[in-house]
Amino acid sequence: MKKYQQLQDRSFYIGMLITLIIAVASALLAQIPYLTIIGQLVLAMILGTIWNHTLKVKNEWRTGIEFSSKKLLRLGIILLGLRLDITDIYFAGWSTFLYALILLVTTLGVVYWLARLLKVDKTLSLLTACGTAICGASAIVAIVPLVKAKQSITAVSIAVIAILGTIFTLLFTFLFPMLPLSAYQFGLFTGGTLHEIAHTIAASSAGGTESEDIALVVKLTRVALLVPVAILIGFYINRNAKYSDKSVHGFTTQTLPIPWFIVGFLTMSTINSVGILPEPLINVLITISYLLLGMAMAGVGFNVDLAVFKKLGLNVFYAGLLGTIVLVGLGFSLICLLNL
């Protein structure tokens, strides 16, 4: 038993080491001309995807990889709060909140409707809609206990979000120089339309610090809205006992997904605003933050698996793709029409 535990621990650290290697490699590659515009986080995601489809990755290593993509992502985001002044959130104002809310509600409805129109299972439709509209795999995992989704359905919805998020992150990064958006507006755009937090951070980095800061504010607003969305879904399920496969999970406050890492992010932003920590230490912590985010992006890349669509078909992908296009189009239009 002890020997098994040692092997398990070793596999976990091997998985983390793989993401660390990719994070360091992507940081070095990002210093090369022409690759600088892509950025280390997008490069980490690309390298993770390539590694996943070309080199052998043992299943037991994936626990460490998953830890990087989920836990280290949150820790990296918390530390990244040291780069933001808390007053920036205040000055973003209600317009930013309404922007995020409009995009979330519209996307949630459109993706679910499109998926059902294409004969996709109700549970899979709901999970994909939540992942597209709110915060990717994190939203999907948070909603799963409420609908008691099967593992295969959960895997497909997460894969759809991972692939679509990767595609649009790369697309946004390369299109940034050609878009008629300021760095601030590009941050609004990426924060309001990309799926995962990691995707938002990676793409917005093309616009520089100003772009990244507002992108995080918008994206974390969408993440915070996961709580009321989960409450509404919980009430809906309780009122419809025949939902999906008739396997309904009671909605309680214990199943309510509260994104506590947002509190950590705001705390770090407050610390930075009042000047408690010396600037050299803050710079070191921000560097560590990007290393952790690079590891998380590598983990996101490892979640991109095209093979899963052979099991449940491409209709859910088409629904997610069309819904994302609507989300991107609406996000861009609101910025231009309202001059945000």
| Digit-coded pLDDT (tens) for 124-153 | 888 888 888 887 766 776 676 677 766 567
In this structure, how many other beta carbons lie within 10 angstroms of the beta carbon of residue 33?
A: 6
pTM: 0.68
Is the Cβ–Cβ distance between 135 and 219 less than 8 Å?
yes
250-259 pLDDT, tens digit per residue, is 445 455 555 6
* Distance of alpha carbon 292 from alpha carbon 39, whole angstroms: 15
Q: Give backbone dihedrals phi and psi of 243, rounded to 5 degrees, phi first.
A: -60, 135
The long-range contacts involving 244-249, CB below 8 angstroms and separated by at least 24 positions, are: 244/121, 244/122, 244/123, 244/147, 244/149, 245/123, 245/148, 245/150, 247/148, 248/147, 248/148, 249/145, 249/146, 249/147, 249/148
Which residues lie below 8 Å from residue 18, measured CB to CB, with a gap of 6+?
A: 51, 57, 61, 64, 65, 298
The percentage of the chain sitting over the pLDDT mark of 90, rounded to a whole number, equals: 9
Between helices 261-274 and 209-224, what is the axis angle to 10°? Answer: 140
Q: What is the DSSP letter of 176?
A: G
Tokens encoding 117: 């129109």
Is pLDDT at 20 greater than 90 in this prediction?
yes
Q: Among 33-37, 189-193, 263-267, 271-275, whose mean pLDDT is lowest?
A: 33-37
pLDDT reported for residue 243: 44
More confidently predicted of 40 and 329: 329
Interval 58-67 mean pLDDT: 83
Measured between alpha carbons, how far is residue 330 from residues 61, 84, 88 in Å? 40, 27, 24
Interval 65-73 mean pLDDT: 83
* Distance of alpha carbon 244 from alpha carbon 72, whole angstroms: 34
pLDDT band at 306 (very low <50, low <70, confident <90, very high): low
Is pLDDT at 179 greater than 70 in this prediction?
yes
Tokens encoding 14: 């091997």
Is pLDDT at 3 greater than 70 in this prediction?
no
Label residue 177 exposed, middle or buried (CB < 10 Å: 0-12, 13-18, 19+).
Answer: exposed
pLDDT reported for residue 304: 67
Interval 256-264 mean pLDDT: 66
* Residue among 119, 161, 101 nearest 137 (CA): 161
Interval 9-35 mean pLDDT: 85
Interval 86-112 mean pLDDT: 82
pLDDT reported for residue 155: 66
pLDDT reported for residue 244: 45
Is pLDDT at 242 greater than 60 in this prediction?
no
pLDDT band at 21 (very low <50, low <70, confident <90, very high): very high
Which residues lie below 8 Å from residue 245, measured CB to CB, with a gap of 6+?
A: 123, 148, 150
Helices (H), ranges, the chain: 2-29, 40-54, 62-67, 73-80, 86-117, 122-130, 137-147, 151-175, 183-193, 197-204, 209-224, 226-239, 261-274, 279-302, 309-312, 315-338
Is pLDDT at 117 greater than 80 in this prediction?
yes
